[in-house]
Amino acid sequence: MKESVEVDHPLFAKGAGGAQCKGLPSTCGQMANCEQAKQALECGNKRLDRDKDGVPCESICPGG
């Protein structure tokens, strides 16, 4: 019998609401737009929210 393994990694995860996480850019400079940054944050890329206010990449998502 095969054993199921949970992987907690942004590249293999699905974010809340079923957002696909694989292949998303990893830095704000690589994001195409604010929606992509929000999706990456939802997928677990906490580095995108430096001040931990829930708004990723504030240069492209001012005020969320």
9-28 pLDDT, tens digit per residue, is 544 455 555 558 999 999 99
- Angle at alpha carbon of residue 42, lines to 59 and 53, rounded to 5°: 50
Give the pLDDT score at 16. Answer: 54
| CB neighbours of residue 42 within 10 Å | 18
User: What percent of the chain is modeled with pLDDT above 70?
Assistant: 69
Within a domain: residue 59? no
List the structure tokens of 63.
């005020």
Closest to 16 measured CA to CA, from 34, 38, 31 = 38
Within a domain: residue 33? no
What is the domain range of residue 19? 1-25
Within a domain: residue 1? yes
Please tell me the distance from the alpha carbon of residue 8 to that of residue 33, in angstroms, as a whole number: 25
- On average, the pLDDT of the chain sits at 82
Give the pLDDT score at 13. Answer: 52
Give yes or no for residue 1 having a pLDDT over 70: no
Within a domain: residue 10? yes
Within a domain: residue 19? yes
User: What percent of the chain is modeled with pLDDT above 90?
Assistant: 64
Domain count, the chain: 1
* Residue type present at position 23: G
Within a domain: residue 53? no
Within a domain: residue 43? no
